[in-house]
Amino acid sequence: MKPAGVLFAAVVATLLGVMPGAPAGAATPSVASANLLGGSCSPSLYFTQTGGAAVAVNASITCSSSVDYLQADVQLRRSGSNVASNVCGTTDWSVSCDAGVACQSGSYQASAQFQAYSTSGYGDYTTYTTGVYTITC
C-alpha cells in the first residue's frame, strides 16, 4: 500500500499530464489520422532510450506506394526547451530519424512533423507529439 503523499503526487502528475518513469511504445498521434497520402504512408514516433546515459527518440515513416520525397523533422524537449533536433529526408519509400541528448533528469516530450510527396505531385503532412514524461537519470 502506498503512503498517502506518494499516491497524491501520482494523482497530481497524472492530472498534469506528466508521467513518471520511462515511456514505452509508440506515441499517440496529435491528429485524427495516422496516415499520409490517402493511407499509403504510416508515420510513428517513440522513445528508444530513456535514462542511463541518454534520452533518445525515433521518428520514422514508411510508404507502401511510390513517393517522390519523404521527410521527418523530429524535436526533443526537456522542461519545455528544445535540447535536440534532426531532419531526415529521402526519395526512398522509408525514412528514419533519431534525436537524442545526454540524460539529465527532467520532463521530456518529443514531436515530429512528417511530410510526404507522391509521384503525381500531391503533398501531405502530419504532426505527432508524445506525452510528457518525467525521466530520472
Instruction: Return the pLDDT at 24.
Output: 44
Cβ(110)–Cβ(57) under 8 Å?
A: yes
> Which cell goes with 62?
514508411
Q: Express each pLDDT in 13-58 by its tens digit.
A: 333 333 434 454 444 443 334 577 777 888 999 999 998 899 999 9
Q: Which residue has cell 528514419?
A: 96
Q: In the chain, which ranges are continuous DSSP H helix?
A: 4-15
From the candidate CATH numbers 3.10.20.30, 2.60.40.2910, 3.40.50.10860, 3.10.580.10, the one assigned to the domain spanning 35-136: 2.60.40.2910
For residues 86 and 74, what is the distance between their CA atoms, to the nearest angstrom?
A: 5
pTM for the predicted model, two decimal places: 0.74
The three cell numbers of residue 65 are 506506394
